[in-house]
Each structure stands twice: as C-alpha cells, then as structure tokens.
Structure 1
C-alpha cells in the first residue's frame, strides 16, 4: 500500500509491480494493470503454490485480467494453462520475441529477460505509450546504476574469477550449471539455502567434480550448514563447512589463482552477506 501511494504521489507514468509469491492470492493482485507479464515457470515455494508445474502455472495465471494483454516470457509445456485462462477472460496473449539488445547484467539467461522486456515495451507502445529505442538501450545499459540491482552474474574479481548470482531454485541452477560447465577453470561453489527452498532438487543436478563450501548466514532463514552435510554426502559432493559465506570467501580467495572460478550462490542472503562484507573492507 505504501508503494502504491508513493507511486501515486510521484505521478509515475508506469509502475512495474513484481508479484511477491505466485499471483492469484498475492497482495499485489489488487491492481488493474495495463499489462500482465509472466516471465517463466519453475519449481519454487511448492508448499504454497503446489507441487507440480501445472499447479504453479495456475497460481501465476491469477494475474491475468479480463480484456487485459498478458505477455508470456518463455513457452513451456504448461503454457496452455495461461492460454486457457486468457481465452476465458478475453485477454490478448503475447509471447516474447527475440530483441537485438544487451544489458549490463551479465549471464546468458538475461537474454530471456531482455526479450521479455522489449516485447512488453512494444505492447505498451501499441497502447499509446511512447518508449523509444534509445530509451530501451539506455535503460538496459544502466540497470545496475538505476536500480541498485546486484548479484545477477556479477563479476566481483577477475583473478581469481569470482561471480555472484542469487540463483535459488532449480530453474535458475540449471542455467548456472550450464554456464559454469562451459568454463575450463576449477570450480568452487560457495552456497547456502533458505529453509523454504527445495534444495534437494538442486543438489541432484550439481556436478560432482566441483568443490562446494556450505555456508550459514546471519539471517535466520538460512539453513545451518551442518544440517546439509548428510545430503551432500548422499549425492557424493565434496564439501567444506563454514559458519558464514564471507569466511569461506576469504579462505578460498587466499588459496586461489587464475585457474580457479569461485561462484557464490544459492540464496539472496548468502550473496548479500558477501557483498556487504566486501563493501565494508573497501
């Protein structure tokens, strides 16, 4: 409510409202938008949204409004859920198309985000908004500066190569592992998980030739790393345990060189702990 009031007081032309959880029952769903966007579907918050992608898609479909355009960022076998809901509500449905832009946020997975953003702007322009190509280029090239958004394939050191990414569900980790496997460097993964995440599914896809550093956090939502050790043993993953991510980071960096790649991931809190630590010592 405070955010909506702030936007009203500042007379914004467009407000981008991110759903907090799912869609159908989310508190942000009180608005009547000019455009709804569903970026993708992945397993997350199964305890609240359902234990299948079809059920999760139905929850996300809750933001589709009568006669209001809906944009789908990425097609999947479950897209039919959105199509059926859109048809019932006479909502024009669109799918993101390839766009010739780049962003200052790195990682190949940003391509999907860029395509979705550019397609959304095209839809808005057809609704009499006036967002130019230069606006798009300028915005995409200054996301970090304009938003303060960090931890999206953020390179914080080049030798050794250190990357932060807030991936925290199976879909995001599939992207992470795919990109890391391209590199010939020795991989060291500093990670921790929030209690509400399906970390077991993530552990199943983690490569066995990486080295893992399981960490806790000052945030109580992060699982105590000692509780995770047996799961890492079950999947034959090599690991060390640290109380905090920045303890793992300082220990690892002191022993690393140009042949190593350090990835910090698993939770927004784990990445945040590292970034705050680095900001304080600079």
Structure 2
C-alpha cells in the first residue's frame, strides 16, 4: 500500500458520513490492545475554538518537557496534519503502515459497510465497518503509543457524547463554548446541543469551560451530577488585554494559583485570548494532579503556539487574511476582530464561500457590512453552497461579484486590490484550504 492508496482508502469511508456511537470504536481499539489507555490525556470539546485551545495546551505541555501527542480535525491541506507528536506531523510512511493494519483488521472483524447515522441514539450494528473518523481516531491513539507520547491532547470531532474520541478518561476536559451547529445530529436547541457536548464530562475529572448562558447551565448541572470539579474561566480568572492586533495579543491574567504579566500569543482576535485562558486553566488543572507545568512552560508554550487558517496572514501588499469561521458564532468573532482593526485594513475585499447547510445570512451579515466588496464563491466540497443562491448578499455589502471557485475569487480580489488593501478569505475551512493551495502556502 502506498500513501496515496492509504488516504484513498480512508477518504473512501467519508461517503458514509458520521456515526455517533462508541461501540464500533471500542471494538476496534480493543483489537489494537487499547492504545488509548496507554497515556494520560486532555479532552477538548465545544463549538468554536477547540482546535486553537488544543494547539495551545499541546504547546504548553511540550514546553514543559512532555512528549505530547495532538489529535485534531479536520485538516487543511494534508491528512498528516491531524496527528502530531511534539508538533511534528505523522509521516506518510506511518500513515501507510497504520492504514494497512487497520484495513486488514476491518476486513477480518467488520464485514458490513458503514451506515449513515440516523439520530443521536441510533445503535450501530455490532459488525459494522468503522467510519473514516473512527479509523483516524484509532490511528492517532496507536501512533501516540508507538511514539511513546507521554500525554495526548485530543480534540472532539463532532458533539461529544457519542464522538469516537469519547472512549478516553482524561485528566482534564475542556468545553470552550456552545452555539448552534450540526443540529441534524446534536439537537435543535442550545440546551440539547450543550447536553451532547457535555457528554465528555467524566466522573471526578475537572472540567474547564468558557461557556455562557443556557449552555453553561447544562454543563454546570452535568458536572455536578457526575462529581466533576467545574472551572468556569469567567469566574476563576480575570484577564486584561494589553495589546491586540494582526500579529497577536499580549494580556495579563490572574487565577487561583498565580498571576501572569505580559503573556503573549501569536494568534489574533480577542476570542483567542479566551481560548488561551482555557488552555492555561487546563494546564493548571493538570499541574494540580502532579504534572510539572509551571509558569515558564505556559509562557513559552503560548508564544510558540500556531494554528493555521485562523486569522492567518499569508501575504502582504495586499494583505491576505484567512480565517476558517464556518458558523454564525465564528463569523461574529471574526467580525468583532475586523471591526476593531478596521482602520488599519484600508479597503476590505471579502472572499466568502460557505457550505449550504450553514446559516450563511447570519454569517455574511456582520462581515459584509464591514467590507467594501464581496466576492462569493463555491467551496470545493460536495456540500458547498452555490454562490448564485446567496441571493440576498447585496443586502449586506454594496458591491457583490460571483466567482466559480476560491482560486478565481482570490484572483478577482487581487486584481482590484491596491497594495494597502486587505483581502479576507472566510466562510469555510474548505475555502481557506483552497486559498492556501492557490497561494502555495504550506501548513506543516
């Protein structure tokens, strides 16, 4: 098997979609000797910011001298981005070897094709073939064991309660925030979605959260029922942002155990400060359990943290800014950052490509009102929305054009932009990935 054949095998399973349930992944991991039990872990869930939080916590643990595994999804350009040890992506040879082993296990033990998920409580067939995400999750755990990782930071894929990653009993759980998303899987209301996400709360395991409102109440009740110490960062910590700009932020933080002055993160947007505080709180929760972390590791780890495709500057003159905001809450956070920096951006040209199952109007409204021109495009995905169907876009932006794909949209934007202008590419990680490819910008 070659690397291309390995990824083709894995990606072929995407056509079956998601199956939210734990029985199949538990069977698969048992066949592998339960690698998920071989190391301590932190479990990161929520709607937005969980990838950034995971990346920052992993950087902190690595700076503390721990050999750290990091499992995130989705990838931007290459499958290997999903699985890392000490910041280094899994190699193509390792993906190939593990995919071949997993394929053989599946052929021997799971004879039936995967079936699409039909609801939160649907029970999978005992012999149903693992899905793409289940195989990828098993691959990550097996790789971390092979590489002698000392701790793993695991990002939830979808929801929480029935997500394939929810086979672990971590040392700390994090729920960044809760907003409406994936309602066909997780429920129609905010409390229902929060209940699914709170499914990662384990008895006795500390839970860090930045969630507010109805979502917080669900998480608070769940933590109380399960005897899980709750750390709501808005109550346990206070922070002041000293500097905020395109290059990142500097902030001061006071918490239960220490005070930090002049913490620096290279991630832009005030929402990333909140994610950083969640990562620090998780690190301190691990510290309370005997992990050596310390202020120096927290400070250095945050300074070294990177999370591509999130308010990432990839070019100057004109400035090209990429952000993977793909739901209304993410778009609101992005719009808040753009509004704050508006005077430094000159003319703003928005390149916007969204998936058709998203509330595109709630995303485009706050962003379009800040833009001088919008170019609507089609993300390279089966679920990509036809830009011609975004008929009300001119309500939110004075000038609207259509491009067939993000590459063309980026070319149109660059053709009209002056050197001092800013091009913002957003709406979907698929759109951002296409822009990275068009510009030849690597991720790893």
| TM > 0.5 | yes
Instruction: Give distance in 2, aligned partners of 1:221 and 1:111.
Output: 32
1:239 aligned residue: 400
Q: Give every structure 1 segment of 4 or more consecutive aligned residues whose post-TM-superposition deviation is greater than 4 Å.
A: 233-237
8 Å contact 2:171–2:205 — kept in the other structure? yes
Map of 2:347 onto structure 1:
186
The farther-off stretch of 16-25 and 74-83 is 74-83
The structural deviation recorded for 1:252 is 1.6
Instruction: State yes or no: 1:261 paired with 2:422.
Output: yes
| 34-43 or 92-101: bigger deviation | 92-101
Cα deviation for residue 265 of structure 1 reads: 0.5
Correspondence list, 1:34-45, <5 A? 34-45=171-182
Aligned residues, how many?
Answer: 276
Q: Structure 2 unaligned runs (5+)?
A: 1-137, 240-252, 254-259
Distance 1:108 1:243, change over 3 A: same
SS of the residue aligned with 1:189? strand
Out of 264, 274, 278, the position equivalent to 2:435 is 274
Query: Which structure: larger Rg?
Result: 2
Does structure 1 retain, via aligned residues, the 8 Å contact 2:351–2:413?
Answer: no
Per-residue deviation at 1:254?
A: 2.5
RMSD: 2.0
Distance of 1:237 and 1:4 partners within structure 2: 50
Structure 2 vs 1, CA of residues 130 and 54 (structure 1 numbering), >3 Å: closer, same or farther? same
Query: Normalized against structure 2, the TM-score is what?
Result: 0.59
Query: 1:236 offset after TM fit, Å?
Result: 6.6
Q: Is the 8 A contact 1:107 1:152 kept in 2?
A: no
Residue equivalent to 2:55: none
1:95 paired residue number? 232
Q: Which of 281, 284, 292 matches 1:130?
A: 292
Structure 1 residue runs without a partner (length 5+): none
Question: Is 1:109 aligned to residue 271 of structure 2?
Answer: yes
Alignment of structure 1 residues 140-179 onto 2, 5 Å: 140-144=302-306, 149-179=307-337
Secondary structure, in 3 states, of the residue corresponding to 1:102?
Answer: strand
CA contact (8 A) 2:352 2:377 kept: yes
Provide the C-alpha distance between the structure 2 equivalents of 1:123 and 1:67, rounded to a whole number of angstroms.
12
SS in 2 for 1:194: coil
